Amino acid sequence: MAENAPCSCGAKEPKRIIFPCAGQANVGQLTNLAALQLTEEGYGSIACIALLGIGAENLVANALNADEIVVLDGCPMKCAKKIAGAQGVAAGQHLVLTEMGIAKGPSKNYTDADIEKVVAACWKGEGRLEKPAPQKEAGGKNSGCGCGCGGTC
């Protein structure tokens, strides 16, 4: 489903901004490639961590008003998460590729399978730091899609 497109009940998909670290090592490059693919798939919208780092007002405001911030860091330095935090932007989902079993190496040392591993992890919700409580329907049942309509959007 495209970002911010209504589900069958009219609820909107969450507005997600994806900040890849985009560092020079393979894992940094993978964060950028995964963020681009996630954007193409409608998971969220890629944004520039360097621009956030200099405090670009519009980007900071958009990030603070997003429903969820996804931060993709390549290595244990967690530069992207630190840059976002310095601007008061908290990650709702944070992945560190080296913690996912991808070894850090030269810039072009990655495969399509590595990109897909990161993309799939995002879609599965791995690295999600805060999970909202499931919404309840009348009668105490969880709604099927989480939007509160009771359907299976």
**Residues 13, 7 contacting (CB under 8 angstroms):** yes
The residue with greater pLDDT, 135 or 22, is 22
d(CA 37, CA 15): 16
Taking alpha carbons only, the member of 42, 38, 9, 44 closest to residue 144 is 9
According to the model, what pLDDT value does residue 44 have? Answer: 97
**What are 8-23's pLDDT values in tens digits?**
555 566 799 999 999 9
**What are 33-84's pLDDT values in tens digits?**
999 999 999 999 999 999 999 999 999 999 999 999 999 999 999 999 999 9
According to the model, what pLDDT value does residue 129 have? Answer: 87
